[in-house]
Structure 1
Amino acid sequence: MSAEVAIVVPQGVAAQGMRKNGKQWHEPKTAFRPKAGNSSFEKRQEERKAMAAVKAKEKEMKDEKEAERQRRIQAIKDKRAKKEEKARYEKLAETMHKKRVERLKRKEKRNKMLKS
């Protein structure tokens, strides 16, 4: 019995022999062609437009996120200021008469409105 080995090569792929340097596990190299990746001006312009649209959308999303963050920060600051003012008036009420504290509150509000 003679054992003949038939090498099956897929169609479209050139049969390669053993590599000279012995590194059969490496991909076979192809010729260096620096101008192979160049594209037309119109194609580059379209890519730039697409990239600009993506950048604009990213900027819009970041601005929305920052606005929401600033809104939350401002709400916290307002809440703290209101709490401090309430505590201040309570401290005044401990030492002064209630009606006098109310008069001071109204007077301070008038001054704040005039300053704004």
Structure 2
Amino acid sequence: MSADVQTQVAPAAQAAVVKGMRVNGKQWHASKTAFRPRSGQDTYAQRTSKRTALAATKAKEKELKDEKEANRQRRIESIRTKRAAKEERERYQKMEEKMHKKRVERLKRREKRNKMIKS
């Protein structure tokens, strides 16, 4: 019976360990623990899973960026083609003011043929 009493008292005594006054007199600071630099490290499996997750997110971000850039380039190209067509129309209008209309039409056809040959 005395052995049972001792086993019950011992855990209670460990839980309520009373520390005396600190030697340096700074009782308001938390007491320091041993320095263990490897205590917070992950396992190899955790590190690899983190790497794969990071790679997946980076791939998704790259895909979204590429899609956005493609849309931007498409808009820029459409603007360029519209401007080029507008300049060509204006050039032909200036030519029509100076020359006969049939000659301008003939020059247009000839220029189109030359463009087809070049490309």
Q: Which TM class, normalised by the smaller chain length?
A: 0.7 to 0.9
TM-score (norm. length: structure 2)? 0.75
Match of 2:26 in 1: 21
Structure 2: how far apart are the matches of 1:91 and 1:16?
A: 100
Structure of larger gyration radius: 2
Q: Residues 98 and 29 of structure 1: is their aligned pair in 2 closer, same or farther, counting only changes over 3 Å?
A: farther
Give the unaligned 5+ runs of structure 1. 1-11
Equivalent pairs counted in the alignment come to 103
Structure number with higher helix proportion: 2
Percentage of matched positions with identical amino acids? 62
1:71 to 2:74 alignment: yes
List 4+ stretches of structure 1 deviating above 4 A.
14-19, 26-30
Match of 2:4 in 1: none
97, 101, 106: which is aligned to 1:98?
101
Structure 2: how far apart are the matches of 1:18 and 1:95?
A: 106
TM-score (norm. length: structure 1)? 0.76
Q: Deviations over 1:52-82 (max 9, x none)?
A: 1011001101100110110011011101100
